[in-house]
Structure 1
């Protein structure tokens, strides 16, 4: 038995014994075995003979699994991670469903840590942040993970923090991996990619350019053209934040020509959503309208597009079309922020609604701060600044300062 397998068997014995409410001393006595020797064995400090393991497995009701079956499950878990890397989410979901059918067997095999790590990676990928319990679970057995598994675990802890709107915490995890003497194929690509996103979020745009370009080159080397396309989209977002909408527009145009064959309609809609916001932020509403005309079927699943289209119609005085669009938008689900934005847009074109608009904007500011989300704050602050400026109220200074702290970050929808 190799060292890694021995450590996994020891960890499995400890886990299963606790699950079955066996006290260590009582279980050691049942073998029979000295408690001190059994304790050392459970901690991976004493070898486990095949005969002893069979005896323990029988008492703990562990399944008998063939080497071939274990090999197949390892291959399946590696394949799920690969599909997630290449954004083949439909296939990844199908494979993961197959994996879940074997939940009990996997959790009672030496693959229990690899299975829980794969589940963690899968759920973080789909922003299922309820899986935070897996972090504590995996940390408990971290001494049993190999270098590849530890790299993956650290990376996805960082991605989880990013999903929870904690980019600075995420960057701490990512820096740990940059300090590593080794890297893991595919996962180092994602490391640069996710680091660039966090740097955009905290406004470190020069560094974001650097890491984003590195990610794109790595994705191209591995023929991951979908991720390369989204890296280019992030590059355009950086230019938007740097107040270079024309340069951003050129990137959007180029990436759609270069990568459209690798993208689904929804991928294209995500890119067009950001391109539209680029021109809305630059008050180039004619260009924004041209972008929105290119949307593919299913764009209604991206709430941010409703904001962009409605704001464009408001600013171009297309009030009849705006009425029609706001009515149309009610049939589609949207988060609270987008709903409030559409309501504010509706209020802004009608007289004598100033106080109601101010109240609504400040309510939005309050819940966005509570949720730790900065994506919509630029809109809120700009509207409050405009509101106070037109009334010569000094409160505008407060919001100008807050806006500067956000480094002019706007709404974004990243993959």
Structure 2
């Protein structure tokens, strides 16, 4: 008899896990409180990287997952996976020191990144205005992806393999008998399961607590601005981080359909707050981007994607079975897009085969008990 797995959450992580579990023959039911892929996954900047991931174990986990994206997209088809690497530069002495020290550490860890002088930076992106240039870095392995499209494709394949998807289905309670989950109470009725898997983003801590498990965390506001289509704005790279010295530091990437995605704020800090809480702030982000890419003057804001982003209490991923509820599997992280291929692979093996991947030893829920 197939193992019955109820997955709570249909963002990129829940969808990827549903795909891999159903492909392995599990009886999968996905329960999503809203529409699939429309919360943190949709608002994510979707930069696939390990650049600012600390400590080294977390960097290594992200680096390992970066290497999984080629095979993952081969399985999924065209999901807007864009190559080219990430470029950033500094305009102050302090900013230059930050870049130089990070590059030195990452190179020591084996990450493909290099320092560039102004001539070398211009060779990559000749149209970028490198005013007050001090130093740049280029991470050649970094990519980005259309995360909502990845989510949709994973769910389509999961359903083809027999999974059941229930959108607009809120989980209102977790039914336990002794120390085990036996089912979920939902707005569409009860759901029996052998394993409950929480991949519900910002809702995960509350759901875990309702069962007697622990997945401590908080959430922050996140937003990205998406423009109308424009001609290619990059010559070589696929992601830029404009100088952190700017009043509103911005991050820019361009999707395959020509739309440009802009994030503003101190990206990468666990308690950061994205710029874009209002439509006025969204327009400010577009204006900031136009200073570096004059071609964006002809574009308008097509949509503003806003969501709450899940952050585990210590900033590190939480993945694995709960010590308190041994058939409750938890997956929550601030790096969901980068980690989706690897965590979905590991979670599937652990849920179906009872294996324990040593790469996840520092990230188990048991560290909070």
TM-score scaled by length of structure 1: 0.24
* Structure whose residues are more often strand by fraction: 2
Larger Rg: 1
Q: Choose between structure 1 and 2 for higher RCO, CA contacts under 8 A separated by at least 6 residues.
A: 2
